[in-house]
Amino acid sequence: MKQFNKNNECQNCECEECLQMLELFLDNEATEQQKNQVKLHIETCEHCKYCYEVDSQLKNRLKEQISNKKCPSEIIKCIQSKIKEMVLS
Amino acid sequence: MENLEEETLIEETDAMSEKKKEALFSQLFLPLLDTAYNFAFRLTLNESDAQDLVQDTFLKAYRFSNSFQIGTNAKAWLFRILKNSFINEYRRKLKNPATVDYQEVEQFYNSEEADTKMTTDLRVEVLQDMIGDEVAHALNSLDIDFRTVIILCDIEGFTYEEMSKILDIPIGTVRSRLHRARNILKEKLKNYAKKYYG
């Protein structure tokens, strides 16, 4: 039987451990043992599975929306010409 | 005779190292220009400052490329220069410098009290429904140190160890800062969703 506090957080020890490892898991920093522990736990726990989905979705949205800036070509030329000057001097 | 040979050898090594430096630069660092520019833009939030910062970074990278150890992570090395240049030269020049005392903020978010208060109930549907650049806006509104760890980890895919080297902080601090940064970000997105999507 899972217990929830007033903030709707799960009070189960296993959940607490899982949530602590969730970021390591998503950031690919978890050990094999931690990975298995998280995978096994979220198969059976709706609450932790949901937290996993939110965090994983956030990571995807960040990647989609943020990594789109291209360096203007004049900057590349400027860098290359300044380096040439440095080599010659 | 021996001395002459030695001198020629030294000259040749110098010539080689200059060539090597140029080759190293165009093979390892120039291909990273877009990703470095993206990082510079996310730090400065301004095209013109980002252009200055990226130029400055690449010129420094060229000048100091002798100290780069071949075989180590070129991107992490370059990003460390970029981040240090930003802190030293650009942060104080920014038009709207952060008014929040970052140390204070981090101490607060690192406290146990904050953890219970900051538990967020951001819903996955809310994230899926966000079609504009809400996530980018929320990220840009984060304090610079919180923003930086999210960019390095979630956008650039650096490991905690690499981040620790780029930022000159222990891995434990990388982890806790990332955790706080994500909680604040989720809180912001939740409030945003409440405001605009009801």
Of B2 and B69, the one with more pLDDT: B69
Tell me the C-alpha distance between B194 and B138, whole Å: 14
- Residue B83's H or E segment, with its range, is helix B74-85
User: Which residue among A29, A65, A79 sits closest to B133, beta carbon to beta carbon?
Assistant: A65
DSSP conformation class of B29: I
pLDDT band at B104 (very low <50, low <70, confident <90, very high): low
Chain B interface, best mutation among A47, A66, A77, A87, by max B CB count within 10 A: A66
Closest CA–CA distance from residue A63 to any residue of chain B (Å): 5
* Count of alpha carbons within 13 angstroms of residue B58, beta-carbon side: 31
Q: Which CATH number fits domain B102-197: 3.40.630.30, 3.40.50.12780, 3.40.50.2300, 1.10.10.10?
A: 1.10.10.10
d(CA B95, CA A46): 46
CATH code for the part of the protein at B2-93: 1.10.1740.10
Domain spans of chain A? 13-88
Are residues B178 and A23 in contact, defined by beta-carbon separation less than 8 angstroms?
yes
Contact B37 A70 (CB under 8 A): yes
Q: What is the mean pLDDT of residues B129-154?
A: 89
* Domain assignments of chain B as residue spans, ordered by start: 2-93, 102-197
Residue B115 or residue B135, greater confidence: B135
Using CA coordinates, name the residue in chain A closest to B45.
A69
Q: How many CA atoms lie within 13 A of A54 on its CB side?
A: 21
Contact A24, A34 (CB under 8 A): yes
- Residue B169 confidence class, pLDDT cut points 50, 70, 90: very high
Q: Using CB atoms, pick whichever of A9, A55, A86 lies closest to residue B62.
A: A86
Give residue A22's pLDDT band: very low, low, confident or very high (50, 70, 90): very high
Q: Which residues of A touch B33 (CB under 8 A)?
A: 71, 75-76, 79
The pLDDT, as a whole number, for residue B115 is 47
